[in-house]
């Protein structure tokens, strides 16, 4: 074993994984998150901390450049893989770890570069890689390029750009009529615990958002697939028989998924993990996950599992709902009254909350407990009287399209630190945004 093989093997033993979910990839993302927890592999919040880039979902050409920029910002040693279906997750992660442990063949140019480096050590640079070679479905760096800390950053408009690609500020009047520096930045399309593919362009003066504009979401690479979270209601609307208990299970899992993202953004990783484990356990009991449709389980066994889920969910809801720190951290942010929500076409938990960020996450907690109590409901789903996790469609627009459209007004006038929390408290579904975009456009 050569000296250069040691860091590769150490990294491959427990790589930090950056999961990038493309629009339409919720089912794949859930499988990837569950597999990473099963293998005890840590996730990376940023490319600079990642060893393995795992792209979840079918190809999305509109976001290919954004994914490539994340890859360019990852230091060596690194590997990249894409998993397109939930069934492939375990095999793809295993192959990517094997590729990460295998050094690419060194070229003659690299040998000369290594000898030159040994003779003339240079500081202030790190080995990264622009080009890469293909190994087993993943990409490996050749390590022949040096990158500065700003490589891969792009300007966001508004003024002349600096040589490193960073935008400079321009002057503009603030709300008090003073001429202050104004900077144009973008949130998205890929941030940790952010709706995949969503991009919001912001105009900042200091740390205050003066203007926010929603960028049209990228279409999903899985144009024919139904949005995962709202699938039961869409199938019921098309005339299929869907059990009300199965729909309640999917909706409770969707709210827990949203709570996991929100709590991670709020800086409470322990409870974010608790929400995601509850989500996964709920989905593991679903008929499509167990495959036990021909020989149903005994009612007492199903009842015991439902009771255990209910007890765990109640404890989780008490811890989060009664947290004074979380309430103090988020109170007064992103206030959306019921009347404003209805005028904007927003329905579901966001409209019923009738208030700020704490009102919305507490509404999610209440909805989770209500739905878990309905898991054993024997009837069929009535699409006319029920709503999906994000609410009901607003004419040609999906419920998430209305949620996303409400974001700019809620963000304007707030501090940048509050913006991520406001977005996470509404959590528009990227699958709905991407899959239903053509219908919304025609409307």
Sign of the alpha-carbon dihedral angle for 407, 388, 191, 222: negative
User: Residue 364's pLDDT is what?
Assistant: 98
In the structure encoding, which two tokens stand for residue 357, read together? 């960020």
- In the chain the domains, ranked by start, together with CATH numbers, are 5-147 (3.40.50), 231-442 (1.10.645.10)
The residues, any chain, with a CB within 8 Å of residue 277's CB and separated by 6 or more, are 37
Task: Give ∠ CA 330-334-337 in degrees, rounded to 5.
Answer: 120
Residues of the chain with pLDDT under 50: 1, 110, 114, 117-166, 168, 289-296, 437-443
From the number of C-beta atoms within 10 Å of its C-beta (0-12, 13-18, 19+), residue 346 rates as buried
d(CA 171, CA 175): 13
Crossing angle (nearest 10°) for helices 244-265 and 299-321: 30
The residues, any chain, with a CB within 8 Å of residue 124's CB and separated by 6 or more, are none
pLDDT in tens, 282-325: 998 776 543 333 444 555 555 567 889 999 999 999 999 999 99
d(CA 284, CA 153): 40
The answer to whether the beta carbons of residues 362 and 317 sit under 8 Å apart is no
From the number of C-beta atoms within 10 Å of its C-beta (0-12, 13-18, 19+), residue 38 rates as exposed
Query: What's the gap between Cα 212 and its chain centre?
Result: 20
SS3 17: strand
User: Residue 13's pLDDT is what?
Assistant: 78
* b/e burial code for range 183-220 (CB count within 10 A of at least 16 → b): bbbebbbbbebbbbbbbbbbbbbeebbbbbebeebbbb
User: Residue 397's pLDDT is what?
Assistant: 84
Q: Which of 209, 201, 191, 190 lies closest to 157 in space, CA to CA?
A: 201
User: Residue 201's pLDDT is what?
Assistant: 97
User: Residue 143's pLDDT is what?
Assistant: 34
From the number of C-beta atoms within 10 Å of its C-beta (0-12, 13-18, 19+), residue 2 rates as exposed
d(CA 393, CA 397): 6
Phi, psi dihedral angles at 195 (to 5 degrees): -60, 120
In the structure encoding, which two tokens stand for residue 91, read together? 């095999």
Confidence (pTM): 0.80
In the structure encoding, which two tokens stand for residue 262, read together? 């929100």
Q: What is the mean pLDDT of the chain?
A: 81
User: Residue 147's pLDDT is what?
Assistant: 33
Q: What are the C-alpha distances in Å from 150 to residues 144, 154, 162, 165?
A: 18, 9, 11, 8
Q: What is the DSSP letter of 340?
A: H
Q: Which of 271, 270, 199 lies closest to 433 in space, CA to CA?
A: 199
d(CA 391, CA 360): 13
d(CA 257, CA 86): 17
d(CA 337, CA 322): 22
User: Residue 383's pLDDT is what?
Assistant: 80
In the structure encoding, which two tokens stand for residue 42, read together? 């840590």
């Amino acid at each position: 074993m050569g000296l250069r093989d040691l860091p590769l093997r150490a990294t491959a033993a427990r790589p930090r994984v950056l999961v990038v979910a493309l629009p339409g990839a919720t089912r794949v993302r859930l499988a990837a998150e569950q597999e990473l927890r099963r293998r005890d592999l840590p996730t990376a919040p940023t490319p600079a901390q990642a060893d393995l880039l795992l792209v979840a979902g079918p190809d999305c050409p509109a976001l290919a450049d954004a994914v490539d920029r994340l890859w360019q910002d990852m230091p060596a040693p690194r590997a990249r893989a894409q998993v397109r279906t939930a069934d492939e997750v375990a095999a793809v992660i295993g192959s990517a770890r094997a590729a990460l442990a295998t050094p690419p063949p060194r070229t003659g140019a690299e040998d000369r570069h290594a000898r030159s480096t040994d003779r003339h050590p240079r500081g202030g640079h790190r080995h990264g890689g622009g080009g890469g070679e293909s190994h087993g479905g993943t990409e490996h760096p050749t390590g022949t390029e040096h990158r500065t800390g700003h490589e891969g950053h792009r300007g966001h408009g508004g003024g002349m750009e600096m040589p490193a690609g960073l935008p400079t500020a321009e002057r503009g009047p603030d709300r008090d009529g003073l001429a202050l520096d104004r900077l144009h930045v973008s949130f998205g399309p890929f941030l940790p615990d952010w709706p995949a593919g969503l991009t919001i362009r912001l105009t900042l003066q200091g740390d205050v958002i003066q203007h926010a504009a929603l960028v049209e979401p990228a279409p999903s690479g899985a144009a024919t697939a139904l949005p995962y979270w709202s699938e039961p209601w869409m199938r019921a609307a098309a005339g299929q028989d869907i059990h009300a208990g199965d729909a309640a299970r999917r909706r409770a899992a969707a709210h827990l998924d949203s709570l996991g993202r929100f709590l991670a953004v709020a800086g409470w990783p322990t409870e974010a993990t608790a929400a995601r484990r509850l989500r996964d356990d709920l989905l593991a009991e679903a008929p499509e996950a167990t495959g036990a449709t021909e020989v149903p389980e005994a009612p007492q066994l199903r009842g015991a599992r439902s009771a255990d889920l209910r007890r765990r969910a109640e404890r989780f809801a008490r811890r989060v709902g009664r947290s004074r720190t979380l309430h103090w951290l988020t109170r007064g942010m992103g206030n959306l009254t019921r009347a404003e929500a209805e005028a904007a076409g927003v329905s579901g938990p966001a409209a019923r909350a009738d208030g700020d960020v704490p009102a919305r996450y507490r509404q999610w907690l209440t909805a989770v407990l209500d739905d878990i109590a309905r898991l054993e409901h024997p009837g069929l789903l009535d699409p006319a009287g029920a709503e999906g996790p994000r609410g009901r469609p607003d004419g040609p627009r999906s419920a998430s399209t209305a949620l996303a459209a409400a974001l700019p007004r809620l963000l304007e006038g707030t501090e940048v630190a509050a913006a991520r929390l406001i977005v996470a408290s509404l959590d528009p579904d990227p699958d709905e945004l991407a899959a239903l975009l053509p219908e919304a456009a025609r409307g």
